[in-house]
Amino acid sequence: MTISAQTRLAAVIGWPVRHSMSPELHNAAFAELGFDAVYVALPVPEGAAAQAVQAMRAFDWLGFSVTMPHKAMIIDSCDDLTDTARALGAVNCVFRDGDQIIGDNTDGSGFVAGVEHDFSVSIDAMNVVVVGAGGAARAAARALTQAGAGDVAIINRSADRAAKAIAAAGGAARIGHRSDLGSADLVVNATPLGMGDTAYSSSVPFDPSVLPDHAIVADLIYHPLETPLLAEARVRGLRAQNGVSMLAFQAAAQFERWTGRDAPVETMIGAARAVIG
């Protein structure tokens, strides 16, 4: 695509940010739709997120994604927040609504959309266990309760963080116990256990042999594409999937905020797989 005086700018801000895959996903989507915009990664040091919001206002950016360490700190710089961003205390997407700069969080809706896409299921009335209680777990738990899950049990190493996740998720969320795994329809790994290039890359967050035969295992990790948990779940005969769809669908929701167009999600999934693969 030719960059001209009409070309709009979108970006991800973070520190560090050069590892981000978001430029590949969004630029593939812009190209697919012939939308005249370009998406770049901008290294923005801790404490400088407010300047990114000012830049969006001054330079008419389309919008931007927000990653660590700015997800909480940028809240005070936005004119307003969506209910989801307010409840989670974290922003991963900034978009314009008239003169207003709005902070949103698309991680949870991206997770639910990814599960429904990958497994052709509805979350409605499901018994879900979320392992972990960090930012991704909170977002997923809140979206699961909003999508109508019957029970969302959160199991975490530290109890205080689990309690905070339950407060953010609301609805059917509660403190979970390992025994909840035996009646789970869907189990989510929202810890980094199994992540590549870490000290715990060969660890699993729970034993999939205790799950019912119909259970689905969703690992939020996408590097590697096949974690030890996913491999064990497949040996056990369970349906299992990595975090690529969540990555693509949370980006797709941002794309739709900025462009008002339906995002070409399969293109974005393909772009993510190509980068990781």
Ligand X SMILES: NC(=O)c1ccc[n+]([C@@H]2O[C@H](COP(=O)([O-])OP(=O)(O)OC[C@H]3O[C@@H](n4cnc5c(N)ncnc54)[C@H](OP(=O)(O)O)[C@@H]3O)[C@@H](O)[C@H]2O)c1
CB closer to ligand X out of 9 and 118: 118
Token readout for 75 is 């809240």
User: Which DSSP state fits 205?
Assistant: S
Other Cβ atoms less than 10 A from the Cβ of 37: the count is 23
Q: Taking a C-beta distance cutoff of 8 angstroms, is the pair 41, 20 a contact?
A: yes
Distance CA 118, CA 107 (A): 16
Minimal CA–CA distance to 262: which of 253, 270, 272? 253
Other Cβ atoms less than 10 A from the Cβ of 234: the count is 14
Q: Is 259 in the site for ligand X (CB under 6 A)?
A: no
Q: Taking a C-beta distance cutoff of 8 angstroms, is the pair 212, 236 a contact?
A: no
Among 29, 102, 141, 195, the residue binding ligand X under the rule CB under 6 A is: 195
Q: Is 137 in the site for ligand X (CB under 6 A)?
A: yes
Among 10, 115, 143, 193, the residue binding ligand X under the rule CB under 6 A is: 193
For the bound state, the minimum distance from the C-beta of residue 83 to ligand X, rounded and expressed in Å, comes to 20
Other Cβ atoms less than 10 A from the Cβ of 43: the count is 12
Please confirm, yes or no, whether 164 is among the known catalytic residues: no
* Residue list 212-231, contact with ligand X (CB under 6 A): 220-222
Distance CA 21, CA 250 (A): 13
Binding range to ligand X, per CB under 6 A, among 28-36, 72-80, 134-142, 253-261: 134-142
Among 36, 97, 167, 200, the residue binding ligand X under the rule CB under 6 A is: 200
Catalytic hit among 26, 71, 138, 142: 71
| Angstrom distances, CA of residue 57 to CA of 72, 92, 211 | 20, 17, 50
Minimal CA–CA distance to 257: which of 76, 23, 10? 10
Site string for ligand X, 143-162 (x = CB under 6 A): -------------xxx--x-
CB closer to ligand X out of 134 and 148: 134
Minimal CA–CA distance to 186: which of 225, 242, 240? 240
Binding range to ligand X, per CB under 6 A, among 21-29, 242-250, 254-262, 268-276: 242-250
Binding range to ligand X, per CB under 6 A, among 11-19, 29-37, 131-139, 268-276: 131-139
For the bound state, the minimum distance from the C-beta of residue 7 to ligand X, rounded and expressed in Å, comes to 27
Q: Is 243 in the site for ligand X (CB under 6 A)?
A: yes
Site string for ligand X, 98-117 (x = CB under 6 A): ---------x----------
Distance CA 50, CA 148 (A): 36
CB closer to ligand X out of 41 and 195: 195
Burial class (CB in 10 A: 0-12, 13-18, 19+), 76: exposed
Token readout for 235 is 């040996």
CB closer to ligand X out of 10 and 193: 193
* Residue list 159-188, contact with ligand X (CB under 6 A): 161
Question: Which residues are known catalytic residues?
Answer: 71
Residues in contact with ligand X by CB under 6 A are: 107, 132-137, 156-158, 161, 190-193, 195, 200, 220-222, 243, 246-247, 250
